[in-house]
Homo-oligomer: A and B are copies of this chain.
Amino acid sequence: MSQKIGIVGSGLIGRSWAMLFAASEFSVAIYDVIHENVDTALVDIQAQLNNLESKGLLRGKINVKQQFALISKANTLEECLQNAIHVQECVFEDLELKKKVFRELDSIASDDIVLCSSTSCILPSLFQVDLKHRAQAIVGHPVNPPYFIPLVEVIPNKHTDPEIVKRTRALFTTIGQKPVVIKKEINGFVGNRIQFAILSETYRLIEDDVISVEDVDTVMADGFGLRWAFMGPWETAHLNATGMKEYFEKYRKSMSSVCHDFGPVPTFEGKGADIMVKEMHKRIPVEDLPERRKWRDERLIALSQLKKKLDH
């Protein structure tokens, strides 16, 4: 008998989680406050699974029919959570809504289910408050598209039991994702802090007419991004010297001096923003975005397949 996962919210992220868990042979019950949305989600999930199989991209050891059979509709939140070991909340990014959903989950949760939110930016202690089961509550933030980008940021709230952190990390590892633990709540978690550090510094450089928007993107996509598809920044540094010790000895002064040179935090409006908006909307007009996202996803899929091949 499969272990059961509850999914609350049947949008894009909820569907992705359902597919990831079913591929690893968990049974999945999806609940949505608008019940009919789950029917739509199930139709879409079946289509997505068939499409993945036809391209040889289906995850897991069981076939589409078996995977799809593991996913069902829950008509009530109680039904969704009953006998589940973990519930993954995937509702809109709205603090009040998250608070409400967590109060509801709290009122029916057993003492050993994990109550996990998919939030990309709301600190868990802001909505996992005044709960009987707050020690079982946590965040597991996926990156889009989770089927091909394995990172999950796991963030405990101030009261989360360390055992729940371990269980959550282990569960995500079991389904083939790559969880990391953000040990203290922090704005932007870690992924967005890295993104914003880059956006902020390059924003200043573009605004100061040091480099064009397009050239910044080239520095990444034809330069450093190639390494970072395989190795993080610290391994990159370690390999670029005779190890980390020598790296610091050689570069600590220039690292520090360059960082002191960064200038004030931008407001991200005014001259710089105008340049960015103008250039990006010219390069890829809004009406071409869906096509370009398809272009991106094809590449993410191909890279994910390449990495699997190289690692075996």
Contacts and interface: CB of A to CB of B under 8 A. Distances in A.
Contacts of A293: 239
A164 interface: no
Interface size class of A (residues with CB under 8 A): 35 or more
A224 B194 contact: yes
A34 interface: no
Contacts of A190: 202, 205, 210-211, 215-216, 219
B197 A209 contact: no
Contacts of A292: 239
Q: A188, A229, A299 — which one has the most chain B CB atoms within 10 A of its CB? A: A229
A280 B244 contact: yes
Interface in A224-244: 224-239, 242-244
Contact of A222 (B151, B221, B224): B151
B298 A219 contact: no
Given A219-B153, A221-B228, A193 B182 contact: no
A265 interface: yes
B258 A193 contact: yes
A199 B233 contact: yes
Interface stretch (A56-64, A68-76, A131-139, A300-308): A300-308
Given A184-B208, A258-B188, A293-B239, A178 B230 contact: no
Contacts of A182: 210-211
A221 B230 contact: yes
Contacts of A266: 256, 259
A51 B48 CA distance: 43
13 contacts: A149-B222, A190-B219, A193-B201, A194-B224, A216-B233, A229-B229, A229-B299, A234-B276, A239-B284, A244-B280, A256-B267, A262-B265, A299-B310
The 6 residue pairs across chains A and B that have the minimum distance between CB atoms: A217-B232, A151-B223, A225-B228, A180-B215, A229-B229, A178-B222
